Chain A
Amino acid sequence: MSKSDITEHFVAGGFGLGFVARSGQYVSIVDLEGAQAGDFVAINQHDPKEGISSVRTRRHLRSLFFGIGDTLLSNYDNPMLKVVVDTIGVHDSTVPACDPTRYSVDFGVPGHRNCLENLHDGLSTHQEIDILDVPEPFNLFQNSPVVADGRTGVVNPPSKAGDRIVFEVLMDLVCALSPCPQDIIPGNGLCPTEMKAIISNDIPE
């Protein structure tokens, strides 16, 4: 394939980006510097009420976690994305996006950048959508293990520079990525860093 078949987007740490990916294409998300969680959502390009669904994917996979070969479902139980490459194997789909109240209520910091608004802004550049309809995110590279007694806690991701996850796109999508701006508690090594999104017609080398 020619290089023109590949679109690359660099997304600054703590900021967001929306992009279109069509059925049959591949979306790669790359942690460029390591230890950076990226909140990721996707909606049906033709119906913003159909979005990626962590709860339905969880019921389908019978697991909190997902990896190579797993299909991520929409809120209508339709296949949206399939994991085809995953160099790290540590991701989360249980923690809601940080939002204005995460910072104003939990940490007393109003006005902080946040994933929910980053994702909404990103999707909105391609598809009008109510912020309530922004799906619960898949938090790529985020590390939310199960610990004793069903408890959890977000810790820094083990991902290193260049770690990536690649999805096969199973329906026409608008996607959004937000390298999480959380810089107060562990989750991104206290320093949000840049990520890359690649849209391609073949699995990138």
Chain B
Amino acid sequence: MPLLMKSLTTEDLPPEVRVEIPGGEARAIYAYQGQLLSVVDLFGRQPATLFAIVKDDLREFLSPHHTRVFSNSFLLKLGMRLVTNRRRPIMVLGKDTVGTHDLLWPASDARYLSSQGHTKATGCAENAQNAFKELGISLPKLPDPVNLFLNIELDNEGNLTPKKLQSSAGDHVLFRVLIDCICVVSSAQKNIGDWSEGDATALQVSTSNGVPS
């Protein structure tokens, strides 16, 4: 079901896709205006690193920095618009069974993981780049991510403290998509530094034309 426009669309609906992301890997998915984009933590306590690039202009992308200033909020809250580096809403957080997400932390990369003792792991940055490349897309710049399910406590003095993840198996977020985009979701390593959560586990990302379930 597309958005409720004054003139009902007669065009074909965009394809619905469901992808499972193995632990420690990343996958890409196209999401179209009006669709619902879902990210599910299948096994619990698994950060999902989200990137979204505007389909028609790879130089415009979801930006956590512009999203914060757009809503004057360091934290991602239900109902907030996620905006691009050109301050256009690209999706809205419409459902959230967890409530703890992050707009402040970088994506991991191999260099950082190596400094934390993971000498063989690739980071979300490399995994995301590869997921875009598999679609034949070479990004001019990999933006900073939105870190779904990642729990970084912020106090009033600005201190940031990584905390135990709150999500349980089946917890999920649902976004209403406003700009056609290519999304990549990466299952982040979670046994580094402050997090001792075991091996990275699988996520599911999907797009739907239907009503929220």
* Among B85, B112, B115, B160, contact of A64 (Cβ-Cβ < 8 Å): B160
Binding site for A on B (CB under 8 A): 59, 63, 65-66, 68-69, 72-75, 85-88, 104-106, 111-112, 115, 140-141, 144, 154-161
Q: Are A95 and B65 in contact (CB under 8 A)?
A: yes
Across the interface, which residues of B come within 8 angstroms of A106, CB to CB?
87
* Among B63, B115, B141, contact of A77 (Cβ-Cβ < 8 Å): B115
A128 to chain B, nearest CB (A): 15
Q: Does chain B have a CB within 8 A of A126?
A: no
- With A94-B104, A152-B74 as contacts: A55 and B59 at CB distance below 8 Å: no
B190 to chain A, nearest CB (A): 15
A137 to chain B, nearest CB (A): 10
Q: Are A151 and B73 in contact (CB under 8 A)?
A: yes
Q: Are A146 and B155 in contact (CB under 8 A)?
A: yes
**Interface residues as binary, A62-81 with B (CB distance below 8 Å gives 1, 0 otherwise):** 11110000000000110000
Q: Are B72 and A153 in contact (CB under 8 A)?
A: yes
Q: Does chain B have a CB within 8 A of A130?
A: yes
Q: Does chain B have a CB within 8 A of A160?
A: no
B172 to chain A, nearest CB (A): 22
Chain B, residue nearest A92 (CB): B158
- In angstroms, Cα B87 to Cα A77, docked, is 28
Q: Does chain B have a CB within 8 A of A47?
A: no
* Among B59, B69, B115, B158, contact of A63 (Cβ-Cβ < 8 Å): B158
- In angstroms, Cα B161 to Cα A38, docked, is 28
Find residues 80-137 in chain A having any chain B CB closer than 8 Å to their own CB.
94-96, 99, 101-102, 105-106, 130, 132-133, 136
- In angstroms, Cα B65 to Cα A132, docked, is 14
- With A151-B73, A152-B74 as contacts: A64 and B154 at CB distance below 8 Å: yes
A62 to chain B, nearest CB (A): 5
3 closest A-B pairs by beta carbon, nearest first, are A64-B158, A150-B75, A55-B106
Centre residue among A62, A96, A130 by max chain B CB count within 10 A: A96
